[in-house]
Structure 1
Amino acid sequence: MNDSFNNFHIQLKDGRKLGYAEFGDPKGKPVFYFHGWPASRLSGIETDTAAKKLGIRIIAPDRPGFGLSDFKKRRTLLDWPDDIVELADALKITKFAVMGCSGGGPYATACAYRLPARVTKAAIVVGLGPVNIPGNLDGISLINRISWGNNKRFPIVGVLASFGNFIGSKISPALSRRIGFGAKEDRSMMTNEIKERMNRSLREAFQQGIRGPAWDWHIYCNDWGFDLKDITVKTYLWYGAKDKNVSLNMGEYYHAQIPNSELHIDPHGGHLFRYKIEAKILQKLIT
């Protein structure tokens, strides 16, 4: 495997460092890629081949406390669009699309909600939805259902989940993958290349310890601070019916809530089916 990409960072107005990587065509149409949980900017490599072919510039930032980005105390979901505006301004990008995969989904919705004058289109790809909505956890694996389902009674769950992934990234990434991806459809997608990329992104997620990932979990499990019905940006939703990590019900919930949304379902897709359709997803964002 010979992945090549560039790592960068900017200093934000509040003094924090925001790290990011770039993939695809450096002169292409800009798409901001938001990584999953727990992952990092390095996950953006999954879009690289398709982005180069389509003439798309992928900018993949680390969230605060992940990878190269400094932790921010008490941040909220709606703080993220402010960071993205500063990054876009630094790169002299006026308008852009956003793509949130898995745990990056809520961050894509936040940008679509907060930045309608700048976000041209949004893609939520197997994106995590609100976990406290009845039915949204139906169909996922038992370990995920227990973790998300008990977040209100036991907020420590987010810390424990982050710590477990942190230990897994150090001791046995293979075991972490097996626990994290329960669907046989996902295991069949695990080429050596995909495994190594996932391992690398997971390790990078915990470069600063567990604070960033644990606070992400806190954000997912609490009020997001806005109504999905107020999103006006065209939003594309991509979900697999066999996904054991993020329920198809979450995609259907997003579709019911976001007025200008379009839901695409792969009846045989797991959480990783997106690797087969990166070009389709990106094409929607630039046409």
Structure 2
Amino acid sequence: MKLAKFISILAALIINTALASELPNSLPNNFDSLGPTVKQLTTETGRQIHYVDDGVTNAHPVVFTGGLGTSVRAIRLLDFLRTMRQDLNIRMITVERNGFGQTQFNPNLDMSDYAKDVEYVLDHLDIDHFSLFGISGGGPYTAKIASRLHKRVLSIHMAATSPLIGQADWCSPDQGTSGYSDLLAYPMQFFGFPKSSSMHQVEGFQDTAFEEAARAHNLRGQSADPAPLEHEMALYCSEGAIDTSHVKSKLFVYRGQADELLNNEPNDAWQKHYPKATLFLRNYPGEGHDVQYRHLDQILLDLSGQSSKILICKDGDQKMISPLAQQKLMPREYKLGLCQWDN
């Protein structure tokens, strides 16, 4: 009996010693990220700018502009491919727009002021040349930045947006803002994705979108005040067509051809508004407004300079192929993007 007890104690000591010796190697060296930190700059006039700078200093800088009525932390919606972004050596910078999130609302500011804010942040970070990435309602702001800083822009990437935002069809009397404003107190409605959206494949994506909607319109205690959103939408119409006729950089456009929000856009709209740019159209038949996220993998590759190839999944393998090779494949033979979308 004593021998059995001795053996049990000895075995326990051996196991505990083994676990203790292994434990230090299993402990992390760093904390896991909860997302980028929002930083502040104060202009000469005393106004505060809120921005995010996510990436290493020597990486390729990309200025991201989120969709309608979003805060600076909308960049979190891109984090489902954060590791890919880091592996491609991309540094994401985004500047918060007037009245959302942590930024105080000033009804006297316009898109030009936002472009100046972006310039101020880039100069502060000692960034000269950069790329632009705008989605949905952030597209006009991206165009404004491109117009102002065109000599510094390496490439422009526009997803689920249109150069026609702010023109006659968008600004008719029946295109009021109340439909959006009424949803601000209900983040799950304001930033809800339809059940058919591919983004439900990304664990936690929809919940992050809900959190972003709550943050953008409540963080400072503004209690879903519609004034900033109504101001932003009014700016689209007061600004009208943004002059990008002098912009000469590469322009990549990502369009869902079943996007009901952009279904009136003619095929030549982008070339007309960017006559000196080298245009690359990436059309996605049967897809809607969520192409800005669903095809983020291709957008990141384009941003990193690998735009001559298309990312596909074929027979369970991820491949980069030429557009010509893609045309030779039947649609049923492959899917666009990472194989994870095929699961």
| TM-score normalized by the length of structure 2 | 0.69
1:240 paired with 2:256, answer yes
Match of 1:263 in 2: 281
Deviation (angstroms), 1:104: 0.8
Match of 1:112 among 146, 149, 170: 146
Q: Residues 126-159 of structure 1: CA distance to partner in whole angstroms, max 9, x if unpaired?
A: 114334646xx6xxxxxxxxxx4xx44368x22x
Match of 2:200 in 1: 190
d(CA) in 1 for partners of 2:294, 2:64: 17
Match of 1:166 in 2: 184
Deviation (angstroms), 1:250: 6.6
d(CA) in 1 for partners of 2:154, 2:118: 14
Q: Is the 8 A contact 1:38 1:213 kept in 2?
A: yes
| Higher RCO (C-alpha 8 Å, min separation 6) | 1
Structure 1 segment 193-272 matched on structure 2, within 5 A: 193-207=204-218, 208=222, 209-224=225-240, 226-247=242-263, 249=265, 252-259=268-275, 260=277, 261-272=279-290
Q: Is the 8 A contact 1:112 1:233 kept in 2?
A: no
Deviation (angstroms), 1:106: 0.6
Q: Is the 8 A contact 1:238 1:251 kept in 2?
A: no
Deviation (angstroms), 1:110: 0.9
For structure 2, the 5+ residue unaligned runs are 1-31, 306-343
Q: Is the 8 A contact 1:34 1:100 kept in 2?
A: yes
What secondary structure does 1:189 align onto?
helix
Deviates further, 197-206 or 216-225: 216-225
d(CA) in 1 for partners of 2:137, 2:148: 18
Q: Is the 8 A contact 2:255 2:282 kept in 1?
A: yes
Q: Residues 93-138 of structure 1: CA distance to partner in whole angstroms, max 9, x if unpaired?
A: 111111111011111111111111222211111114334646xx6x
RMSD, aligned α-carbons: 2.6
1:33 paired with 2:64, answer yes
d(CA) in 1 for partners of 2:249, 2:38: 29
Deviates further, 218-227 or 246-255: 246-255
Q: Is the 8 A contact 2:154 2:250 kept in 1?
A: yes
Q: Residues 180-234 of structure 1: CA distance to partner in whole angstroms, max 9, x if unpaired?
A: x56x643x43345111111121112213433222211011122336423333232
Q: Residues 31-77 of structure 1: CA distance to partner in whole angstroms, max 9, x if unpaired?
A: 11001012222221233413212111101221011112232332222
Deviates further, 270-279 or 198-207: 270-279
Equivalent position amino acid for 1:283 in 2? L
d(CA) in 1 for partners of 2:75, 2:166: 28
Match of 1:53 among 62, 75, 87: 87
Q: Is the 8 A contact 2:256 2:288 kept in 1?
A: yes
1:176 paired with 2:190, answer yes
Match of 2:294 in 1: 276
Equivalent position amino acid for 1:34 in 2? T
| TM-score normalized by the length of structure 1 | 0.81
Q: Is the 8 A contact 2:199 2:290 kept in 1?
A: yes
